[in-house]
Amino acid sequence: MTRTALTLLLITFFLSGLYAQNLPVQTQPDPDQSNNIREYLMKVAGEITDNSLVGIQSLEDWEKIRPQRYNEFIEMMSLVDMPLNGKRPELNVRITGTIQKEGYRIEKLYYESLPGLYVPANLYIPDNIKEPRAAILYVCGHSRTQKVRYQPYPRKFAQLGFVCLIIETIQFGEVKGEHWGCYANGWFNWYSRGYTPGGVEAWNAIRGLDLLIERPEVDRENLGVTGISGGGSQSWYIAAADPRIKAVAPVCGASTLKAHLLTRTIDGHCDCMMPINTYHRDFQDIGFLIAPRPLLIAQADRDGINTIESVRELYTDIKEIYKLYNVPENISLVETPGGHSYHQISREKIFSFFLEHLMEKLISPEDAGDIDESPEIQLSEEELKVYVDRPPEDDRTTTIQDSFIQLPATPVISNEKELYAFRDSVKIFLKRETFGAFPQDPAPFNPRPVFRTLDGAKFGRNVYSFVSEEGWRLKVDVRWKNEPQKKKPLMIVLRNPNEKRWESEGFIDGLDDEWNIAYFEVRGVGENGWAPNLQWHIRRASAWTGRTVASMQVYDLLRCIEFCRTLEGVGSAKIGIAARDDMAVVALYAALLNGNCQTLILKNPPESQDKPSQPDGRGPATEMLNCLRVTDVYQLPALLFPTNIKFIGKMPSAYLWSEKILKKLGKGE
C-alpha cells in the first residue's frame, strides 16, 4: 500500500468511525462542566444539607430509620470499638484534692475512660445535699487553660444546686494530646483510619456520665450537658450518642456543611468538629437523634466559624422532627450579639433552661442570673490542678490516636477460597465505607471528540472528552499504535500531578506495540488541578463531605475505563493501567473495583496509606475514608488475581506480602 493510500484509509476511518455518533469536534469549553473543585464541593455539601429531611414525612418514617441512623452516627464518631453496650472498663477514679468554698466543694480527680486513658476533671458539689441532685456535664472548648478558663460555669451550676463535672479535652489542659492531626500536622491518614478526635472526647464524656451516676449526690435520671465551641459540638455529639442526657444546650458549636464550604469557615475548625462523614450527614441529622429531648441552641450572630444564618437553618430543620413528636416547644434557639463567645443573654437562658428541664423549676433567665467573673474569686491553674506530681506513667493521652481505632491484623490466607472471600469482603466494605459518595446513577458520558491528528502514533491520535461526574468533563488522549478498527489492548497511563513534560511518555516507552496507549488526567491533575496552596482546604473539605481527593480520582479512572471500552478498537476485556508514585494507589483501587483489568504496571507505589503528609497539606493525597479498617494498598495486588501486575524498578518490600500469598497459592509472582 502506498503512503497516499494509507493516508486516505486513515482519513476514511476518522470520518466514519470517530463521528459515527455525529458528534462535532469540541471547540469551546462546556459551560455546564466547570471542573472547579470548590464549586463541586459546595454543590455536594449543599445537597447533604438540603436533603436531611428527605424521606421523613411522619414519625413512623423517622422511627423506622432512627436505629440505622444512630448506628451510622456511632461509627462516624469513631466509636465502633468502644463498649457502648455491655460491661465497660473500671473508671478507677482517683481524688487528688478537695477545695471547700462557700456553699460547695470542688473535688479534683481523674478517671480512666479506657485502660491508660486518663481524664482530668473537677467535680463541683453543693453543700448539704440531702437527696440526689440533677447533674451537669460541662465540656470545655479549645482553651489552653480548660477547667481554669471555664470555672465560672460549674461554679454557677453548683450555686444553683446542680452537681457539675467539668472535664478537660485531650487537646489542651494538664496533658496535651492531639486534635490537630489533619488541621496542623499533616496526619491525613486519620481519614483512612476512620478516626476523629471528637470520638475520643465523646467517649471520655460518656465515661464522665458513668462517673456521675455512681455518685450518691447525683440523680441519674436528670443529666444535662453543655459547653461552647468545641464543647458546643461535643454537646451535640454526647446527647445524640447517650440517651441518659435529658437536656442539652450547645453554644457556638455547629453549622451546616453548606455554609462551611461556601464561607470556608471549615478552615477555622479543628478536626474534632465533624464526624468522619461516611454516610454524608450534617448537624441536622445529629439533632434529629437528640429529639424529642429538650435542646437549646445558643449562637452568636457574628461568629467567625458558624454563621447565624446556617444555625437558623439547623434549628428550622431539626424542629420538623420535634413537630413529629408533638413537642416543638422542646427545641429553641437563642441568638446573641457578638463573636464566637457566650453572652449574658445565652448564659442566663441556659441556666433557666436546665432549672426547668432537670429540676422542674420555672425560673426566669433574669432570676437565674449570670456567672461571676470577678478576678478575686477565680481559682488559679495551680489550685485546680489534678495531677499533683505528674500524670500516671502509663497515660495514653498523647498517643490515643494510634490505638482508638483498632485496625485489623494482616490477614492470614491459606487457600484460594480464603483469598477470594477476603477480596469480596474488602470490596463490599470499600463500596459502603470508602466509596459511598460514588454517584448511584452515573452521569451520561456525553462524549465529544476534542482533537485528532495523524501524528503522535503510528495510526494517529485522538483526544476525547467525557463527563466523569456532574461538574467534571475530563479528557483522555488515545494513541493508536494499531489499526483502530482492530480490537487491541489499551493501556491507560495516569499522569502525575506536576509531572515534567514527556514524563509519562518516557515511563511507558517500553510497552509492547500490541498495546494502544491512552493518557489520562484525573481531577486534581494537570488542567483538572487546583493551586497547591488550596490542597489543604480541599483535602479537609472533601472528607467533611464524605469523599477524599483519592476516592474522587478512583471514580474518574473507573469512568475512564468504562468510556474507553465504548471505543472501537479497544478490546473490552483487555484494559491495563500504568501508574507511578501515589497515582499507583488510585490505579490499584480502581482495578479492584472494576474487576476486569488485564494488566497493571506500577512504579514506586506507596507501601501504605497509614503515613503522614506534609503539615500544610500540599503534595500527594492518598487517604481514603475508613480504608485501613479493612485493608491497605500493599494487599491489593493479591486481591487482584488474575490481573497481571508488573513493577518497574524495585518492588517496595511491603508488597512482598501479596507476592508470597500468590506464590503460596500457586499463582506465580
Q: Residue 193's domain is classified under what CATH number?
A: 3.40.50.1820
C-alpha cell at 49: 444539607
| Residue 14's pLDDT band (cuts 50, 70, 90) | very low
**Can you list the pairs that 4-11 forms with residues at least 24 positions away whose Cβ atoms lie under 8 Å?**
7/454, 10/454, 10/459, 10/460
pLDDT over 70 at 11, yes or no: no
Q: What's at 645, amino acid-wise?
A: I
pLDDT digits (tens, 9 = 90+) for 397-439: 999 999 999 999 999 999 999 999 999 999 999 999 999 999 9
At 31 the pLDDT is: 64
At 572 the pLDDT is: 76
pLDDT over 90 at 654, yes or no: yes
DSSP states of 62-89? HHHHHHHHHHHHHHHTT-TTS-SSS---
| Residue 239's pLDDT band (cuts 50, 70, 90) | very high
Element (H, E) at 120: strand 117-126
At 33 the pLDDT is: 75
pLDDT digits (tens, 9 = 90+) for 21-70: 344 566 666 766 789 999 999 999 999 999 999 999 999 999 999 999 99
C-alpha cell at 268: 477555622
| Same domain membership, residue 371 and residue 426 | no
User: Interior CA angle at 590 toward 494 and 444, to 5°?
Assistant: 90
Q: What's at 85, amino acid-wise?
A: N
Give the C-alpha separation, 193 to 626, whole Å.
5
Three-state secondary structure call for residue 634: helix
Give the single-character DSSP code of 649. S
Q: Which residue has the cell 449562637?
A: 299
C-alpha cell at 241: 450518642
| Same domain membership, residue 198 and residue 70 | yes
- The answer as to whether 37 is a domain residue is no
Give the C-alpha separation, 463 to 455, whole Å.
12
C-alpha cell at 222: 436528670
Q: Tell me phi and psi for residue 192, to 5 degrees.
A: -65, -30
| Residue 667's pLDDT band (cuts 50, 70, 90) | confident
Give the C-alpha separation, 506 to 183, whole Å.
37
pLDDT over 80 at 294, yes or no: yes
- The answer as to whether 29 is a domain residue is no
User: Interior CA angle at 12 toward 463 and 490, to 5°?
Assistant: 40
| Same domain membership, residue 393 and residue 300 | yes
Residues 242-266: what's their mean pLDDT?
Answer: 97
Q: Tell me phi and psi for residue 537, to 5 degrees.
A: -60, -45
| Same domain membership, residue 181 and residue 126 | yes
- Percentage, residues of the chain above pLDDT 90: 90
At 15 the pLDDT is: 37
Instruction: Evaluate the omega torsion of the peptide bond into residue 642 and state whether it is cis, within 30 degrees of 0.
Output: yes
- The answer as to whether 34 is a domain residue is no
At 3 the pLDDT is: 43
At 27 the pLDDT is: 63
Residues 251-280: what's their mean pLDDT?
Answer: 97
pLDDT digits (tens, 9 = 90+) for 196-222: 999 999 999 999 999 999 999 999 999
Three-state secondary structure call for residue 639: helix
| Same domain membership, residue 497 and residue 356 | no
- Which of left, alpha, beta for 529 (phi over 0: left; psi -120 to 50: alpha)? beta
Residues 500-510: what's their mean pLDDT?
Answer: 93
At 29 the pLDDT is: 64
pLDDT over 60 at 7, yes or no: no
Give the C-alpha separation, 98 to 90, whole Å.
22
pLDDT digits (tens, 9 = 90+) for 349-369: 999 999 999 999 999 999 999
pLDDT over 50 at 460, yes or no: yes
- The answer as to whether 577 is a domain residue is yes
Residues whose CB falls within 8 Å of the CB of residue 328, separated by 6 or more in sequence, listed in order: 319, 322
| Same domain membership, residue 423 and residue 274 | no
- The answer as to whether 40 is a domain residue is no
Q: Tell me phi and psi for residue 107, to 5 degrees.
A: -95, 125
| Same domain membership, residue 466 and residue 356 | no
- The answer as to whether 35 is a domain residue is no
Residues 574-584: what's their mean pLDDT?
Answer: 97
Give the C-alpha separation, 274 to 285, whole Å.
12
The closest alpha carbon to 403, from 607, 177, 123, belongs to 177
Q: Which domain holds residue 575?
A: 408-664
- The answer as to whether 144 is a domain residue is yes
pLDDT over 80 at 8, yes or no: no
Q: Which residue has the cell 489552653?
A: 144
Q: How far is CA 572 from CA 37, 90, 490, 575, in A?
A: 31, 59, 9, 7
449 beta partners: 464
DSSP states of 604-632? S--S-S-----TT--S-----TTGGGT--
Last residue of a domain, one of 402, 436, 469: 402
Q: What's at 599, amino acid-wise?
A: T
Within a 10 A sphere around the Cβ of 14, how many other Cβ atoms? 16
Residues whose CB falls within 8 Å of the CB of residue 549, separated by 6 or more in sequence, listed in order: 524, 538, 539, 542, 621, 623
Q: Tell me phi and psi for residue 135, to 5 degrees.
A: -130, 150
Last residue of a domain, one of 387, 402, 417: 402
pLDDT digits (tens, 9 = 90+) for 295-330: 999 999 999 999 999 999 999 999 999 999 999 999
| Residue 129: half-sphere exposure toward Cβ, Cα within 13 Å | 22
At 298 the pLDDT is: 98
Instruction: Evaluate the omega torsion of the peptide bond into residue 408 and state whether it is cis, within 30 degrees of 0.
Output: no
At 26 the pLDDT is: 62
Give the C-alpha separation, 150 to 271, whole Å.
22
Last residue of a domain, one of 355, 373, 402: 402
| Same domain membership, residue 610 and residue 490 | yes
- The answer as to whether 45 is a domain residue is no
Question: Are the CB atoms for 556 and 580 separated by under 8 Å?
Answer: no
| Same domain membership, residue 412 and residue 396 | no
Q: Domain tally for the chain?
A: 2
Question: Are the CB atoms for 329 and 295 separated by under 8 Å?
Answer: no
Does this model's pTM top 0.85? My answer is yes
Within a 10 A sphere around the Cβ of 453, how many other Cβ atoms? 11
| Same domain membership, residue 237 and residue 362 | yes
Give the C-alpha separation, 437 to 432, whole Å.
9
| Same domain membership, residue 348 and residue 449 | no
Three-state secondary structure call for residue 448: strand
| Same domain membership, residue 381 and residue 430 | no
pLDDT over 80 at 540, yes or no: yes
